[in-house]
Amino acid sequence: MSENAGPAAPDPREQIAGLTFALLLLAPDLTITQVNPAAENLIGRSARRLTGRKFLEVVRFPESEITERLMGDETQLVARGLAIEVDRKVWLVNLTISSLAAHPGWRVVTLSDSGQGDRLAEDDTVRGLRAPAVLAHEIKNPLAAIRGAAQLVARKLAEDDRALTGLIVDEVDRIAGLIDRMQRLGRERAEPIGPVNLHAAIRRAWETVQAAGGTQIALREEFDPSLPPVLANEGALVQVLVNLIGNARDACAASGQPEIAIQTRFVSGLVMNVMRLGRSVKLPIEVTVSDNGPGIDPAVRGDIFEPFVSSKKNGQGLGLALVRKLVTDMDGRIGHDRDEAGGWTNFRIHLPMAR
C-alpha cells in the first residue's frame, strides 16, 4: 500500500451511523431490519429491540392515508410536520419513504423531528423579524412621549379623573414590553457562551417563577447529579427555563392535582448540524420541563414556536418564539411532545456539553 494513500473511506454502515436523522430499513413485509443510532434516539429503543419488529407496531400514523400508502405500492413519499405516535407519545416529524429499485418491496424510511432546531442561525423567522425590530425601535420614542404627556396631564386632574391617564400609562408600558420582546427576537448577535451548571440554572429559574406569585404548584425533580456543565449562556438559559416553567404552571393550574416535572439526563448519539458553524455539534445533555395540563391546542401544536402563535387565551405568542431563538443561539435544539396516556406535555431542550 502506498505511504501517500489517505485514510480509508468509511463503509456504508459507518456512513449511515453518522447520519443526524433517523434511518430505518424495512423488508417487504414492513419488518424493521436495520436502524441507525439516530433512529434509536428518536424512537427511544435500542437497535436490538427494534430489529425484527413490524414498523407499524412501533410507529403509528394517526392519518390513515399514510398507513395505506405505506402498505400499498407507494414507492416515494415525503411529508413535513407529520404527526406520529410512539409509545403513546405524539411527535411531529418530517418523513421520507424511498424504495430500492434493485430490491423490490424494500424501503428506506427517514424521520427527523420537525420541532428540532434545523432552522438554526439562518432561521427564516428570525430574519423576518429583523425589519419589525428596527421599526419597533422607532416606535418606542413616541411611546415614551405619550407616557410622559399622560403623567403630566394626570397631575392637573382631580383624583377621580386620573383613571384614564393611568390606563394610558399602563397600555403604553404593555406595548413597550411587547416591543422589547420583538427586538430580542430580531437580535442577530448571540450572547457569549461558556460552562454553566444546569441544575443551578433550573433552581434559579424555579425560584424566579415562584417569586412572581400565582398558583403554587408541586415540582418533581428528576436530576442526574453526574451531568457535566453545559455549554450555554447562563442568563439566556435561565430565561428559557423561566418561560417554560411559567408556561407549564399556567397550563396545569386548572388541573385537579397540578404538577410540574423537570428531568435532566444524558442522551447519546444526538447530533445537530449547525449551518452557522459549518459543522456538527453533539447535544448529549437533555432537560425536560413537563406539566400534567390538558396539552397544547392541536390547531397550533405544529406552529407553537412561531411568533404570534399562542395556545393561551390572551397570549401574545412571543414567549416560545424567544425560547427557540435563545436555544438556537446556544447551538441547542428544542422540541415538544404529548404523552396522551400519562397526560403530560413535555418540552425538551438538548444542549452541548462544556469541555
Q: How far apart are CA 51 and CA 37, in angstroms?
A: 13
List the one residue out of 345, 347, 326 whose CA is nearest residue 123: 326
**CA distances to 211, 312, 323 from 315, in Å:** 21, 5, 15
The answer to whether residues 93 and 225 belong to one domain is no
Concatenating the DSSP letter of every residue in 290-325 gives EE-SS---TTTGGGTTSTT--SSTT--S-HHHHHHH
Contact 75, 59 (CB under 8 A): no
Residue 178 has what pLDDT?
A: 64
Nearest to 56 by CA among 73, 39, 68: 68
Residue 17 exposed, middle or buried by CB count within 10 Å (0-12, 13-18, 19+): middle
pLDDT band of residue 133 (cuts 50, 70, 90) is low
Q: Is residue 149's pLDDT more than 50? A: yes
C-alpha cell at 73: 405500492
User: Which letter, b or e, does each residue of 280-300 get, where b requires 16 or more Cβ atoms within 10 Å of its Cβ?
Assistant: ebebbbbbbbbbbbebbeeee
Same domain, yes or no: 344 and 207 = yes
Mean pLDDT, the chain, integer: 79
For residues 291 and 345, give the distance between their C-alpha atoms in angstroms, rounded to a whole number. 6
Task: Determine the Cα–Cα distance for residues 271 and 214; give it in Å rounded to an integer.
Answer: 38
CATH number of the domain residue 45 falls in = 3.30.450.20
Any idea which of 29-43, 157-171, 267-281 has the lowest mean pLDDT?
A: 267-281
Task: Read off the C-alpha cell for 96.
Answer: 421520507
Residue 120, pLDDT above cutoff 50? no
Confidence of residue 132 (pLDDT cuts 50, 70, 90): low
* Cβ count within 10 A of residue 80: 12
pLDDT at 226: 94
- pLDDT value, residue 298: 81
Asked if the model's pLDDT at residue 127 lies above 50, the reply is no
Residue 5, domain member (yes or no)? no
Domain presence at residue 280: yes
49 C-beta neighbours (distance < 10 Å), count: 14
Task: Count H helices and E strands in the chain, helices first.
Answer: 10, 14
Nearest Cα residue to 335 out of 345, 150, 196, 352: 345
Q: Do 149 and 201 share a structural domain?
A: no
- Residue 7 lies inside a defined structural domain of this protein: no
Q: Model confidence over 155-175: pLDDT tens digits?
A: 888 887 778 788 788 777 767
User: What is the distance between the alpha carbons of residues 151 and 168, in angstroms, rounded to a whole number?
Assistant: 9
Give the helix ranges, DSSP H, for the chain: 12-17, 37-43, 47-50, 55-58, 64-71, 124-155, 163-186, 198-211, 234-252, 319-329
Span 182-191, pLDDT tens digits: 666 555 556 7
Structural domain harbouring 150:
124-186
Least confident of 75-89, 240-254, 290-304: 75-89
Asked if 249 contacts 214 with a C-beta cutoff of 8 angstroms, the reply is yes
Of 323, 268, 251, 302, nearest in space to 80 by CA: 302
Which of the residue ranges 56-65, 223-232, 334-343 has the most confident prediction, judged by mean pLDDT? 223-232
Confidence of residue 119 (pLDDT cuts 50, 70, 90): very low
| Strand 218-222, strand 259-266: pairing | parallel
Cβ neighbours around 67 below 10 Å, total: 14
State how far the Cα of 325 lies from the Cα of 319, in Å rounded to an integer.
10
Is residue 164 domain-shared with residue 203, that is, in the same domain?
no
pTM above 0.75, yes or no: no
Domain count, the chain: 3
pLDDT tens profile 12-34:
777 777 777 889 999 999 999 99
Same domain, yes or no: 63 and 22: yes
Rounded Cα gap, residues 184 and 129, in angstroms: 10
Whether residue 200 is found in the same domain as residue 137: no
Cβ–Cβ under 8 Å, residues 195 and 237: no
pLDDT at residue 138, rounded to an integer: 61
Domain-located, residue 119: no
Q: Are residues 307 and 266 in the same domain?
A: yes
Q: How many percent of the chain have pLDDT more than 90?
A: 23
Q: Identify the CATH number of the domain in which residue 230 sits.
A: 3.30.565.10
97 pLDDT more than 70? yes
CB burial of residue 231 (10 Å; 0-12, 13-18, 19+): buried
- Dist. CA 263–CA 235, nearest whole Å: 20
pLDDT at residue number 312: 64
For residue 232, pLDDT over 90 is answered with: yes
138 & 109 share domain:
no
The closest of 344, 338, 237 to 290, measured between CA atoms, is 344
In what helix (H) or strand (E) does residue 266 lie, and over which residues does it extend?
A: strand 259-266
